[in-house]
């Protein structure tokens, strides 16, 4: 039987947030030859996902899981089986996750004849501590990955070792549109004028969802200490999430209301980076941290925790610090870095490409991988 194109790849992992997984998915989807490969997405019932309108415009379908396993496991099982039987056009399942504790969909896909099943690790630790039952299922799934998944992907070596241990896996880089993130002095002036921030005022910036993993609580402690060194400094936070109220309360408690700007979720992050002088994100864990790639391409120096993979330091612009060093030490290091930084934010684009972070190149590699799996089948 002749293969019909485009082949359809079903992804799980897209959510309402514009975070690392979501950015990875939309970046690769935008650069697929959609006459050959189309992406579809399966998401929880009732969820409006990031980039939903764009996905539909590009020809992708968004399927809503009607019943979650927590609510009704038996009914959920029958729903998933019915889903794959009704959508025999799906030839590849690609699950993007930060743990192996929920592989029900992949197990059912195997039983329903989906030949290629990819499990893709996107973190080097759990986003939140798992409960005992989740840890048990995680351990069991990891022992049987070779029977559940046909291919193992990871966004970094750290993320791969965390989820897959000694099993062989393929690193698929969280590549970006390089030209989009290059520094622009005009954009810097535009946004600084809009915010009323003079060019000689130091702006520390962070782009991350407001949750436990990203560690904004610690970031605010660091910034409070840094204000003792540079009282005019401004902190700009881009993102949103479940801890927003706690973050806003802490800003008020620390007396930083006039020095911290919360911009919420933004679609123009590539432009906003131009207004920053330094990027700071003290994550508790990261699979890679695509935002560090974006910030470095913009010519920004970055400060992060030593929990972040070293392989993201593609342009030698990242300073790694231990979280237990304390906020005062972090503030002192930020001051030292800021004083020693080169004002020229021009970068060597070829180094970015050689490191595997140019989406135009990397998307073609993933596309060829998908097509090779179908042709082999």
Peptide bond connecting 6 to the previous residue in cis, omega within 30 degrees of 0? yes
Residues 187 and 152 in one domain: no
**What is the rounded CA–CA span in Å between residue 254 and residue 232?**
15
Q: Do 340 and 367 lie in a common domain? A: no
Say yes or no: 287 and 162 in one domain: no
Selection from 180, 176, 242 nearest residue 208 by Cα: 242
Q: Residue 40's beta-bridge partner residues?
A: 10
Do 22 and 90 have their domain in common?
yes
Q: Indicate whether 2 belongs to any domain.
A: no
Looking at the structure, do residues 368 and 294 belong to the same domain, yes or no?
Answer: no
66 within 8 A of 79, measured Cβ to Cβ = yes
Is 159 among the domain residues?
Answer: yes
The count of structural domains within the chain is 2
Residues 186 and 167 in one domain: no
Cβ(4)–Cβ(38) below 8 Å? no
Cα–Cα distances (Å) from 93 to 151, 164, 264, in that order, read: 10, 18, 32
Q: Are 166 and 69 in the same domain? A: yes
The verdict on 33 and 100 lying in the same domain is yes
Characterise 113 by phi-psi region: left (phi > 0), alpha (psi -120 to 50), beta (else): left
What average pLDDT does range 24-50 have in this prediction? 95
Per-residue model confidence (pLDDT) at position 136: 76
The answer to whether residue 169 is domain-embedded is yes
H-type helices in the chain, by residue range? 20-30, 52-57, 73-86, 104-111, 132-143, 145-148, 157-164, 185-195, 216-229, 244-253, 269-272, 290-297, 327-340, 349-354, 359-376
Q: Are residues 330 and 258 in the same domain?
A: yes
Inter-residue contact 362 to 30 (CB < 8 Å): no
193 and 215 share a domain? yes
Is 239 found in the same domain as 168? no
Would 252 be classed as within a structural domain? yes
Q: State the average pLDDT for the chain.
A: 92
pTM of this prediction? 0.90
C-alpha–C-alpha distance, residues 45 and 95, integer Å = 17
In which band, very low, low, confident or very high, does the pLDDT at 146 lie, cut at 50, 70 and 90? confident
> Does 312 lie in the same domain as 189?
yes
Percent of the chain with pLDDT over 90: 79
**Alpha-carbon Rg of the chain, whole angstroms?**
22
Among 36-50, 118-132, 296-310, which stretch is predicted with the lowest mean pLDDT? 118-132
pLDDT of residue 361 exceeding 80 = yes
What residues make up the domain containing 197? Answer: 178-353
Q: Is residue 1 part of a domain?
A: no
For the chain, give the percent of residues with pLDDT over 70. Answer: 95
Torsion sign (Cα): 29, 263, 215, 318: positive
Instruction: Report yes or no on 135 lying in a domain.
Output: yes
Q: What CATH number does residue 12 fall under?
A: 3.40.50.2000
Is residue 276 a part of any domain in this protein? yes
């Amino acid at each position: 039987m002749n293969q019909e194109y485009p082949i359809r790849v079903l992804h799980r992992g897209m959510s309402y947030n514009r975070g690392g997984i979501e950015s990875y998915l939309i970046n690769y989807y935008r650069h697929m030859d959609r006459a050959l490969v189309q992406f579809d997405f399966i998401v929880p019932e009732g969820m409006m996902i990031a980039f939903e309108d764009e996905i539909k415009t590009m020809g992708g379908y968004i399927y809503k899981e009607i019943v979650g396993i927590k609510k009704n496991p038996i009914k959920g099982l029958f729903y998933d089986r019915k889903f794959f039987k009704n959508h025999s056009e799906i030839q590849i399942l690609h699950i993007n996750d930060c743990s192996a504790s929920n592989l029900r969909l992949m197990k059912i896909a195997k039983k329903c004849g989906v030949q290629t099943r990819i499990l893709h690790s996107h973190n080097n630790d759990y986003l939140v501590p798992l409960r005992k039952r989740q840890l048990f299922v995680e351990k069991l799934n990891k022992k049987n990955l070779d029977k559940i998944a046909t291919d193992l992907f990871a966004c970094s070596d750290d993320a791969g070792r965390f989820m897959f241990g000694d099993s062989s896996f393929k690193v698929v880089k969280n590549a970006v549109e390089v030209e989009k993130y290059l520094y622009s002095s005009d954009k810097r002036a535009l946004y600084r004028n809009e915010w009323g921030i003079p060019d000689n005022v130091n702006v520390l910036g962070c782009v991350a969802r407001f949750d436990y993993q990203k560690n904004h609580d610690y970031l605010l402690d660091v910034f409070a200490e840094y204000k003792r060194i540079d009282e005019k400094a401004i902190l700009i936070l881009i993102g949103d999430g479940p801890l927003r109220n706690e973050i806003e309360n802490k800003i008020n408690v620390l007396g930083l209301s006039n020095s911290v700007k919360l911009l919420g979720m933004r679609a123009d992050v590539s432009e906003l980076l131009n207004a920053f002088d330094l990027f700071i994100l003290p994550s508790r864990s990261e699979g890679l941290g695509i935002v560090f790639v974006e910030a470095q391409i913009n010519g920004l120096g970055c400060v992060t925790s030593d929990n972040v993979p070293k392989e993201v330091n593609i342009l030698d612009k990242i300073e790694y610090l231990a979280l237990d060093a304390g906020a005062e030490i972090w503030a002192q290091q930020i001051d030292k870095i800021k004083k020693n930084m080169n004002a020229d934010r021009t970068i060597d684009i070829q180094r970015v490409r050689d490191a595997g972070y140019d989406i135009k190149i990397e998307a073609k590699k993933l596309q060829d991988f998908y097509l090779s799996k179908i042709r082999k089948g």
